[in-house]
Chain A
Amino acid sequence: MAEPNPSPLAAEARRPLSPHLQVYRLTLTMMMSGIHRITGMGLYLGTLLLAWWLIAAATDAASFETVSWVMSSIIGRLILLGFTWALFTHMLGGVRHFIWDAGIGMEHPEREYLAHMTIWGGLALTLIVWVIAYAVR
């Protein structure tokens, strides 16, 4: 910079920050990167539900009835639906990362196809699993 620096401390404070999310136009691949992290964190918290279900099953019939009642309520079903979607979307997002790790699919049309594959594949697998679950119930 041309202007003189009065002290090193002031220079430190004026050091420019690199641009972050808010200055860029939102793109599909960018959004899918965020969704991969968000679904991952959702699954992280979801393990608490899995632990509750397994512990209840290992405890007694009354505990299992309680957890079954909560999970089959409307809110419980919505949470499980979200959990299923997060699992499949994160799984396909992982497959997308493996394709990138192989060094392919990073150019313009391919990376958009992969993003669409992750979104629609995740929704489709969720739908399939829930249709099966309702059918075999």
Chain B
Amino acid sequence: MTNTPHSMRTPMGKVRYLGSAKSGTRHMLHTRLTAIALLPLSIAFVWIVVSLVGKDYNTVRATLGNPLVSVTLLLFLIAGIYHMMLGMQMVIEDYVYGEHTKFWLLALNTCFAIAVGLACAYAVLRLSFV
């Protein structure tokens, strides 16, 4: 491929068939945006858990059913699960070389994140409404 200033090739023609980057900066940006959100949310999460240490079942239920606690936990779960999914995706892409293994591990990663996230969110909502 020639890259002389006087080349007749279009920019598109030069990059075509060289493989795509598959995505832009979205992954990097979302990792950092969720990280910013997780700074206060993780501290709030630790605060909630510590306040429930050694408490009996009814107290725990009442606290987790409090709207402010519920919403904080849901925000923590959404940001945290998405952040960990992005992080594990990066680890898989870095260390797994086989195309088939990589594909299935990435799919498993997404499914794990959705399943755990949904289970946690369902439990939090159930604590509020049932």
A residues lining the B interface (CB < 8 Å): 37, 40-41, 43-44, 47-48, 50-51, 54-55, 57-58, 61, 64-65, 84, 87, 91, 94-95, 97-98, 101, 129, 132-133, 136-137
Contact = CB atoms under 8 A, between A and B. Distances in A.
28 contacts: A40-B87, A41-B91, A43-B84, A44-B84, A44-B87, A48-B116, A50-B120, A51-B123, A54-B120, A54-B123, A55-B119, A55-B123, A57-B57, A57-B123, A58-B122, A58-B124, A58-B126, A58-B127, A58-B130, A84-B46, A91-B39, A91-B42, A97-B35, A98-B32, A129-B46, A133-B53, A136-B53, A137-B53
Contacts of A50: 120
B111 to A, nearest CB: 13
B79 interface: no
Contacts of A41: 87-88, 91
Interface string B97-130: 0000000000000000000100110111011001
A9 B36 CA distance: 48
Main secondary structure of the interface of A (DSSP, over half): helix
A47 B123 contact: no
Interface residues of B, number: 30
Interface of B: 32, 35-36, 38-39, 42, 46, 50-51, 53-54, 57, 60-61, 64, 80-81, 84, 87-88, 91, 116, 119-120, 122-124, 126-127, 130
A47 B84 contact: yes
